[in-house]
Amino acid sequence: MHASLIRRQLGGLVPPKIATPKSVSGGSGDGLGPLVNFYSKLPKGAATARISGIKGRFFNGANASGAPLLALIGGLFGIGYTIDYHMHLSELKFISC
């Protein structure tokens, strides 16, 4: 692999201004103070997953229900029946009279 490709892939792991080669490469480890200080200020633990919108409002949380799903099925049935009636079933009542 080329050095620039590896640098590009690893660029997001360590902030470039804090972990310079001069401060990281040292036998005593005294130059790692800014790096340790930076990472100690980052939040620890699992990130909270915030789900918003229709899924967060109706399917997750305390008021979870399947009412929107049933409303969608009923709405699709109503639209389909209306289209079918106007395309086919409305012609049948003139034939049977």
**Percent of the chain whose pLDDT exceeds 90:** 13
Residue ranges per structural domain of the chain: 53-96
State the pLDDT confidence band at 77, using cuts at 50, 70 and 90. Answer: very high
Whether residue 39 has pLDDT greater than 80: yes
DSSP string, 24-78: HS-SS-GGGHHHHHHHHTS--SPPP----HHIIIIISSTT--SHHHHHHHHHHHH
Average pLDDT over residues 6-22: 63
